[in-house]
Amino acid sequence: EPGGALEGVARAHLLLSEPIYREFAKIKLRLPEAVMAERLRAKGAALLEVEKRYTETVGLKVPGPAICALTRIGEAYHEFAQALYDAPIPRGLTEAQLDLYRDALAEQAHPVEVKSQEALAMAVEKSLELSLDDECARRARGYLEEWAPARFPPLLGEVAEVKLGERGRGHGLLFGIQPLPPAPPKDVIVPSVVDERLPQARRAPPSAPRGKDAPGRETLTRSVEEEDEDLL
């Protein structure tokens, strides 16, 4: 039932994941290039740990904490993408080399930003499906409206109430037998799982000074137990 033991476990798991998220967010990219490459690897590894922790929270299938965990995953991917977009530029590059370097960083950041939007879109979809308009759901909607307004225009009106039919057995809000919700719009990407090969910043052009020390593109991988689309 709502507020029962499983919900307490999920909320505790969510709370205990916050220090891991904060440590990830504290890692900033800095020059020289060798230092930036090392920090990029460290930030990528920390992102995978953040994702793993919050995916475990989602796996407990308690609506409120699960939506908050999806929102946190979206925030983490956005933080990583923004670190790539804002990465410091080595000195001595020509204008042409500078454009190439920035384009390479943006190319690597874009799929990470898309992953952020997927996690946030799932958080919003599930919050609407369950008529759960809490702080995490509002935060996820706000991010999508700010970061991808063309794909996610502002939500108009109030969140519709989800009417429950005859109740079955289960935990909390999960025991409601509901009519199938309408399919999400085709332009809303809902991930089946949060699982990513993290891109790395490309090396600076060969002709650029100190280019041999530019950040590498070592691929960080990991496997996380996949959750079905009906997580909630």
DSSP one-letter code for 101? H
Candidate from 151-155, 193-197, 201-205 with smallest mean pLDDT: 193-197
CA 174 to chain centroid, in Å, comes to 24
Q: What pLDDT does residue 207 have?
A: 42
Is residue 168 over pLDDT 60?
no
pLDDT in tens, 123-141: 999 999 999 999 999 999 9
**3-state secondary structure (DSSP) of residue 167:** strand
What are 2-57's pLDDT values in tens digits? 568 999 999 999 999 999 999 999 999 999 999 999 999 999 999 999 999 999 99
* pLDDT of 209 over the 50 cut: no
The mean pLDDT value for 213-232 works out to 41
Alpha carbon distances (Å) from 66 to 1, 9, 77, 221 = 16, 12, 17, 24
**Residue-level pLDDT at 117:** 95
pLDDT (0 to 100) of residue 95: 93
pLDDT at 190: 31
- 148 pLDDT tier (thresholds 50, 70, 90): confident
pTM: 0.67
203 pLDDT above the threshold of 60: no
Q: What is the pLDDT of residue 232?
A: 53
Amino acid at site 163? K
How does residue 155 score in pLDDT terms, banded at 50, 70 and 90? low
CA torsion 198-115-25-93 (nearest 10°) is: 60
